Amino acid sequence: MLNSNQSSEHASRRRVFIIIFIILTGIIFLARLFYIQVIDHRYKVYASSNVQRTITEYPARGLIYDRNGELLVYNEPYYDLMVIPAQVGEIDTTEFISLFDITREQFDNRMQSARHFSRFTPSLFQRQISKDSYAAIQEKLFRFPGFFVQPRTLRKYVHPIAAHTFGYVGEAGPSVIENEPYYRQGDYIGISGIEKHYEEELRGHKGSRIVMVDALNRAIGSFQDGRYDTMAVAGTDLYSSLDMDLQIYGEKLMQNKRGSIVAVEPSTGQILALVTSPGYDPDLLVGRVRSRNYRMLQADTLNPLFNRALMANYPPGSVFKTANFLIGLQEGGINANSTYSCPGHYRSGGITIRCRPHPQPVNPITAIQHSCNTFSAIQFRNTLELPKFESMQEALTNWRNHLMSMGFARAFNSDLPHELPGLLGSADYYDQVYGTRGWRALTVISLSIGQGEIGTTPIQLANFAAIVANRGFYHTPHVVKAIGAPDNLNPDYIEPNYTTIDSMHYEIMAEAMFETVEAGTGRFSRIPDIPMAGKTGTVQNPHGENHSAFIAFAPVEEPQIAISVIVENAGSGAAWAAPISSLMVEKYLTGEIKRGWFEQRILDAKF
Amino acid sequence: MNKYYIPSNMRPQLSIFKNIDKFTVLVYFILIIVGWLSVYAAEIKDTHQSIFDFSQHYGKQFVWILTALVLAVVILIMDVKFFPAFAYIIFGVGIISLIGVLLFGVTVNATKAWFHVGGVAIQPSEFVKYATALALARLIYESKTRTKTFQVIIKPFILIAIPFVLVVMQSDMGTSLVFSSFVIVLYREGYISGWLLLLGILAVILFVMTLLVNEFYIMGALTILGIITAIFLRKKPSAVKQLLVVLILVNGYVYSADYAYNEILEPHQRLRIAVLVDETVDLRGAGYNLHQSKIAIGSGGLTGKGFLQGTQTKFSFVPEQGTDFIFCTIGEEWGFVGSTLLIGLFLTLIIRIIILAERQRSSFSRVFGYALASVLFFHFMVNIGMTIGMVPVMGIPLPYISYGGSSLWAFTIFLFTFLKLDSRRLDLL
């Protein structure tokens, strides 16, 4: 045994050790607390991400109406089934998979990937459950804790028309998300057509709410009484310039044909109908079936995704004579009284252009009326060889500038997507092909009848018809008439664009086109009681049957509609494109078709 | 007999509160009020906002506090001789209750440690700490004049081992380890040498290191250290021999520590240790609690979010927010400043008890005081340590703060018994 002195000495040393040990523990704890509470800021970030959930409120996308206020495009609610794995308890899996019509493996896989993503935050379990399916599911959903639905909307179309014009909506891709801060993963964005061009109007503004959640992700309340919450603002409605009935009718007429119809209101440039055929049902490119259907359409040999009305590049053929005559009249290559006789062909310098028999002789009006190639070639050459032009280059450039003022060889860059400019031979081009001194008027003589180095799109032709209808100007063709309200006109297209041809020359061509329909190549398509002006075109096609083309406007005085029709590989303009134009004009101006047999012939035709 | 001794029956009984250490009582009151408010802050619900809502923990805690104060008064009224006289009997009752709970108890959270008596759950193991402290004090008091032979030394260890084993059988690892805190008492009383204690601490450090570092690296490092020491000691062959033995033993320990960790510990016990070593382990499971606990405390910052303004505990991110993880609420709402004050309060209380224990004339009172200080310290260290990721998660409450009747009653009886002993320190020898 220790003696008592030693013992108390030991005891007091031990007491000191014990107290030091206890104080040391306290100091270590305080150091640790100082570190995690004061120095390390991560825990504050973790804490707010723990309790704050930002919930996005998706606005309804703007609706699209036609020019008369008829609904064309709207939104249909659907539901995404979400799951929070940590909240999923014991559920009747058999009932679940039969309710949602999935397999056991799908169920297991989705649960596993959801769990892998996060046990406590919602994951998408099943995309796009329709309204009808949801009705059946809704009353049973309570039996599956941890599952809930999130409402979204999808585009829905009243009629399966104008797919190219409307375009489509899809989830924003990674590059969009990177470049535009508005978009987040899973947001929708307009990818083409009106949906793309008017994306900012249509999308509205997303709102967001910050809610406080507890550990089971149950909403406890709003964060700071909603001080940082924003309401979703619904997208702006658009009033398309399309006439729903006319669009439907145009698509019906173009069934089983390849080609396009473009109808414009001349006084405004508003597009009344924009038909491309073959087209597709816009519903195909909505929702979860979109990418699959898109691939299917892409693989289709008829190329339904190709928007012929804006992108197809046809030589205009005889339709183009009208434009050439206007330039000739303006420059003095011909005048209103110029008269030539047509021997059935134009022959010069080893070049022959054949013509069909028609009454003799011809002046600018009758030359259009009967589509005389000889007169066209003579006036074209006269115009290019006018002494005021110092060179062929200057003459051709002048010719080309006139055409560009009429909207050829360039894109309108309006609200129409993926528009192509067409093409028009330039002096530089011919210099390259033939050498600076290697070409003359005869070299390019085929341009006189709209063949050769010339490509025009159907919308350019319709616009040209509108220019003649307006006697010298056009409003840029566009497809959205008003934004937000029917009378809130789209401000971008109000200013008229004047061409470089004087109005009086258009009067001559308007009369010529009227005569064409009254008693010329287009006479079979004359509409009783409606004075229509038109010009046929039969486009030579080295790859097969000629394309049938026609431009028209009506009525001749105070025109309400200008139109271009192209039917690929159908033959003469008079036989197919002109009757289709005539039916469209009749439909638009009178609202009905009186010539049943005439319509039936078109509906039955297949090319 | 001391010359100042006046038999108690001859002194005027002015008050039962006479000679009670007022300072300790003040700290006690501060702690239970802080505890009550913290339980309220941790568990307040929109539907039950009154702190006196008896359907909620905070309402019930008020009842526990009132009854605990009654118990405190009862303890103070009792004759001080009762405690040494009945120490063994109380211990015996405690042991029987532990056996009873194993036979007839209710399982809560995988721990079979509860009696249900008329709708109230009582956890006997909380009281057995007190009973063991009494018995230990009595045992050491009785053997104070004896030579410390092996038989004398082994007795207190056997005494502590009995409740330890029984609580282990309840699968309550945390509470059972509380009994290991009595080594502090035994160290103070000279039953354990300082070197042995130091060796124990080193063993723990080595054990943790084997989890952090591949055990062969540690063994290699120790061997190199041994060789360098041996070069210095080359003049003393006997020292080198001893060094060799120590080296082999230590290396064997390091090797077997890793084995013990992997083969002997249960998977959930391994995880509780693993999450301390690596923050990113099992964030969805065992690591989740610790991570959330640290988030709650860490987000409090320097001065905290303010009373009732905490979000992490109230929204149940932190588990057991009113009981074992109550410190999270304090850390979150009162920040570093509040945490420091609370830690300061506990250190003050524990050190005050040690100072009081040292002034006892009777070794019974002294040992009992040290036992109280040791148990309080162990609870304090493990409970706060686990919330900040320094100690494996063990379900033991923070004394006077955590919600729970058994814990509050037991610690109140424990403290006031000691204060009673202290107030009559001149009566006891």
Give the tens place of pLDDT for each residue, B166-187: 988 888 888 888 999 999 999 9
Q: Which residue has the tokens 């012939």?
A: A601
Task: Quick: pLDDT tens for A102-129.
Answer: 888 988 888 888 888 777 677 788 878 8
Q: Taking the CA of residue B408 as centre, how many other CA atoms within 13 Å lie in the half-sphere pointing to its CB? A: 27
| Pick from A392-396, A450-454, B213-217: least confident | B213-217
CB contact under 8 A, A42 and B315: no
For B163, the token pair is: 């409740």
CB contact under 8 A, B298 and A37: yes
Answer yes or no: do A209 and A294 share one domain: no
Please state, in angstroms and rounded to a whole number, the distance separating the CA atoms of residues B85 and A65: 97
Q: Alpha helix (H) ranges present in B260-301?
A: 267-277, 286-298
Q: How many helices, marked H, and strands, marked E, lie in chain B?
A: 15, 3
Most confident of A50-64, A389-403, B181-195: A389-403
pLDDT class of A147 with cuts at 50, 70, 90: confident
Which residue of A17, A23, A29 is in closest CB contact with B385?
A: A29
Q: Which helix (H) or strand (E) holds B111?
A: strand B111-117
- Judge whether A545 and A449 are in contact, CB under 8 Å: no
CB contact under 8 A, B354 and A18: yes
Q: Which helix (H) or strand (E) holds B200?
A: helix B194-212
Region A247-266: mean pLDDT is 94
- Please indicate if any CB of chain B lies within 8 Å of the CB of A219: no
Looking at residue A587, its pLDDT comes to 94
CB contact under 8 A, A26 and B385: no
Q: What percent of chain A has a predicted confidence (pLDDT) above 70? A: 95
pLDDT at residue B13 is higher than 60: no
Interface of A with B in 118-147 (CB under 8 A): 119
Q: Which helix (H) or strand (E) holds A579?
A: helix A577-590
- Please indicate if any CB of chain A lies within 8 Å of the CB of B204: no
Task: Quick: pLDDT tens for B239-296.
Answer: 888 888 888 888 888 888 777 777 777 777 777 777 766 655 555 556 777 888 888 8
Give which of A511, A415, A413, A509 is closest to A464, Cα–Cα. Answer: A509
pLDDT at residue A2 is higher than 50: no
Question: E strands along A415-524, which residues?
Answer: 423-424, 454-455, 473-474, 480-483, 497-498
pLDDT class of A3 with cuts at 50, 70, 90: very low
Answer yes or no: do A494 and A360 share one domain: yes
pLDDT at residue A177 is higher than 70: yes
Does a structural domain hold residue A25? no
Region A475-488: mean pLDDT is 91
Backbone angles phi, psi at A370, to 5 degrees: -105, 5
- Judge whether A321 and A162 are in contact, CB under 8 Å: no
pLDDT class of A1 with cuts at 50, 70, 90: very low
pLDDT at residue B103 is higher than 60: yes
- Judge whether B81 and B89 are in contact, CB under 8 Å: no
Looking at residue A368, its pLDDT comes to 94
Region B42-59: mean pLDDT is 82
Task: Quick: pLDDT tens for A461-474.
Answer: 999 999 999 999 99
Looking at A240, A267, A290, the residue that finishes a domain is: A240
Q: Give residue A485's Cα distance to chain centre.
A: 21
Residue of A nearest to B317 (CA): A215
Q: Give residue A573's Cα distance to chain centre.
A: 28
Task: Quick: pLDDT tens for B356-392.
Answer: 999 998 999 999 999 999 999 999 999 999 999 888 8
Minimum distance, in Å, between the CA of residue B278 and any CA atom of chain A? 16
Please state, in angstroms and rounded to a whole number, the distance separating the CA atoms of residues B123 and B105: 9
Minimum distance, in Å, between the CA of residue A229 and any CA atom of chain B? 19
- Please indicate if any CB of chain B lies within 8 Å of the CB of A20: no
Residue of A nearest to B312 (CA): A47
DSSP at A280 = -
pLDDT at residue A47 is higher than 50: yes
- Judge whether B65 and B38 are in contact, CB under 8 Å: no
Looking at residue B212, its pLDDT comes to 67
At a CB cut-off of 8 Å and minimum separation 6, what does B150 contact? none
DSSP at B372 = H
Identity of the residue numbered B151: Q
Looking at residue A281, its pLDDT comes to 92
Answer yes or no: do A227 and A368 share one domain: no
Backbone angles phi, psi at B361, to 5 degrees: -85, -30
Residue of A nearest to B152 (CA): A1
Please state, in angstroms and rounded to a whole number, the distance separating the CA atoms of residues B318 and A393: 85
Minimum distance, in Å, between the CA of residue A232 and any CA atom of chain B? 28
Task: Quick: pLDDT tens for A419-441.
Answer: 899 999 899 999 999 988 889 88
CB contact under 8 A, A50 and B317: yes
For A155, the token pair is: 């585009």
pLDDT class of A247 with cuts at 50, 70, 90: very high
Task: Quick: pLDDT tens for A303-340.
Answer: 898 999 999 999 999 999 999 999 999 999 999 999 99
Does a structural domain hold residue A35? no
Answer yes or no: do A399 and A506 share one domain: yes
CB contact under 8 A, A46 and B298: yes
Residues on chain B touching A44 (C-beta within 8 angstroms):
298-299, 301
- Judge whether B185 and B371 are in contact, CB under 8 Å: yes
- Judge whether A315 and A453 are in contact, CB under 8 Å: no
**Paired strand residues for A129:** A79
Q: Among B140, B313, B347, B367, which would you mutate to test the A interface (most chain A Cβ atoms within 10 Å of its Cβ)? A: B347
Domain boundaries, chain B: 8-191+286-423, 200-264
Does a structural domain hold residue A147? yes
Q: Which residue has the higher pLDDT, A263 or B265?
A: A263
| Pick from A47-61, A389-403, B247-261: least confident | A47-61
Identity of the residue numbered B90: I
| Pick from A30-44, A137-151, A272-286, B350-364: least confident | A137-151
Q: How many helices, marked H, and strands, marked E, lie in chain A?
A: 21, 22
Backbone angles phi, psi at B302, to 5 degrees: -70, -45
Residues on chain A touching B352 (C-beta within 8 angstroms):
none
Q: Which residue has the tokens 């003799």?
A: A360
At a CB cut-off of 8 Å and minimum separation 6, what does A132 contact? none
Region B409-421: mean pLDDT is 95
Looking at residue A148, its pLDDT comes to 78
- Please indicate if any CB of chain A lies within 8 Å of the CB of B200: no
Minimum distance, in Å, between the CA of residue A15 and any CA atom of chain B? 7
Q: Among B312, B327, B334, which would you mutate to test the A interface (most chain A Cβ atoms within 10 Å of its Cβ)? A: B312
Give which of B379, B358, B353 is closest to B181, Cα–Cα. Answer: B379
Q: Which domain holds residue A522?
A: 244-298+305-604
For B227, the token pair is: 């060789």
What average pLDDT does chain A have?
A: 88
Most confident of A243-247, B225-229, B274-278: A243-247
pLDDT class of B1 with cuts at 50, 70, 90: very low
B106-125 core/surface letters (b: 16 or more CB in 10 A; e: else): eeeeebbbbbeeeeeebbbb
CB contact under 8 A, A36 and B315: no
- Please indicate if any CB of chain B lies within 8 Å of the CB of A117: no
Residues on chain B touching A25 (C-beta within 8 angstroms):
377, 381
CB contact under 8 A, B343 and A29: yes
Looking at A240, A255, A274, the residue that finishes a domain is: A240
CB contact under 8 A, A34 and B336: yes
**Paired strand residues for A277:** A259
Answer yes or no: do A251 and A136 share one domain: no
The CA-based angle A430-A432-A435, given to 5 degrees, is 85
Looking at residue A533, its pLDDT comes to 95
Q: Give residue B139's Cα distance to chain centre.
A: 21
Does a structural domain hold residue A31? no
- Please indicate if any CB of chain A lies within 8 Å of the CB of B315: yes
Does a structural domain hold residue A167? yes
Looking at residue A7, its pLDDT comes to 64
Give which of A479, A429, A92, A437 is closest to A275, Cα–Cα. Answer: A479
Does a structural domain hold residue A40? no
Q: What is the CATH number of the domain that holds A329?
A: 3.40.710.10
CB contact under 8 A, B297 and A34: no
Answer yes or no: do A186 and A333 share one domain: no
Please state, in angstroms and rounded to a whole number, the distance separating the CA atoms of residues B375 and B148: 25
Give which of A23, A51, A30, A46 is closest to B302, Cα–Cα. Answer: A30
- Judge whether A601 and A582 are in contact, CB under 8 Å: no
Answer yes or no: do A125 and A193 share one domain: yes
Residue of A nearest to B357 (CA): A15
Q: Among B315, B316, B330, which would you mutate to test the A interface (most chain A Cβ atoms within 10 Å of its Cβ)? A: B315
pLDDT class of B234 with cuts at 50, 70, 90: confident
pLDDT class of A403 with cuts at 50, 70, 90: very high
What average pLDDT does chain B have?
A: 85
| Omega before residue A555 within 30° of 0, cis | yes
Q: What percent of chain B has a predicted confidence (pLDDT) above 70? A: 91
The CA-based angle B279-B285-B289, given to 5 degrees, is 65
Region A375-388: mean pLDDT is 93
Minimum distance, in Å, between the CA of residue A82 and any CA atom of chain B? 20
Task: Quick: pLDDT tens for A184-229.
Answer: 777 889 988 999 999 999 998 888 777 777 665 566 677 666 777 7
Looking at residue A86, its pLDDT comes to 73
Q: What is the CATH number of the domain that holds A140?
A: 3.90.1310.10
DSSP at A411 = -
Give which of B333, B315, B303, B300 is closest to B34, Cα–Cα. Answer: B333
CB contact under 8 A, A44 and B301: yes
At a CB cut-off of 8 Å and minimum separation 6, what does A432 contact? none
Give which of A365, A157, A375 is closest to A279, Cα–Cα. Answer: A157
- Domain total of chain A: 2
Residue A502, helix vs strand vs coil? coil
Answer yes or no: do A192 and A281 share one domain: no
Answer yes or no: do A316 and A460 share one domain: yes
For B414, the token pair is: 């424990």
Region A63-81: mean pLDDT is 90
- Please indicate if any CB of chain B lies within 8 Å of the CB of A31: no
Residues on chain B touching A212 (C-beta within 8 angstroms):
311, 315
Answer yes or no: do A183 and A264 share one domain: no
Q: Which residue has the higher pLDDT, A83 or B262?
A: A83
CB contact under 8 A, A11 and B188: yes
Q: What percent of chain A has a predicted confidence (pLDDT) above 90? A: 52
Looking at A221, A240, A259, the residue that finishes a domain is: A240
Residues on chain A touching B299 (C-beta within 8 angstroms):
43-44, 46-48
| SS3 track for A183-225 | CCCCCEEECCHHHHHCHHHHHCECEEEEEEECCCCCEEEEHHH
Q: Taking the CA of residue B117 as centre, how many other CA atoms within 13 Å lie in the half-sphere pointing to its CB? A: 8
Please state, in angstroms and rounded to a whole number, the distance separating the CA atoms of residues A463 and A564: 8
Looking at residue A216, its pLDDT comes to 58
- Please indicate if any CB of chain B lies within 8 Å of the CB of A116: no
Residue of B nearest to A14 (CA): B188
**Count of residues making up chain A:** 607
Looking at residue A500, its pLDDT comes to 94
Answer yes or no: do A286 and A342 share one domain: yes
Residue A553, helix vs strand vs coil? strand
Q: Which residue has the higher pLDDT, B262 or A384?
A: A384
- Judge whether A204 and A236 are in contact, CB under 8 Å: yes
User: Which ipTM was obtained for this model?
Assistant: 0.88
Please state, in angstroms and rounded to a whole number, the distance separating the CA atoms of residues A469 and A561: 8
Answer yes or no: do A191 and A270 share one domain: no
Please state, in angstroms and rounded to a whole number, the distance separating the CA atoms of residues A363 and B212: 103
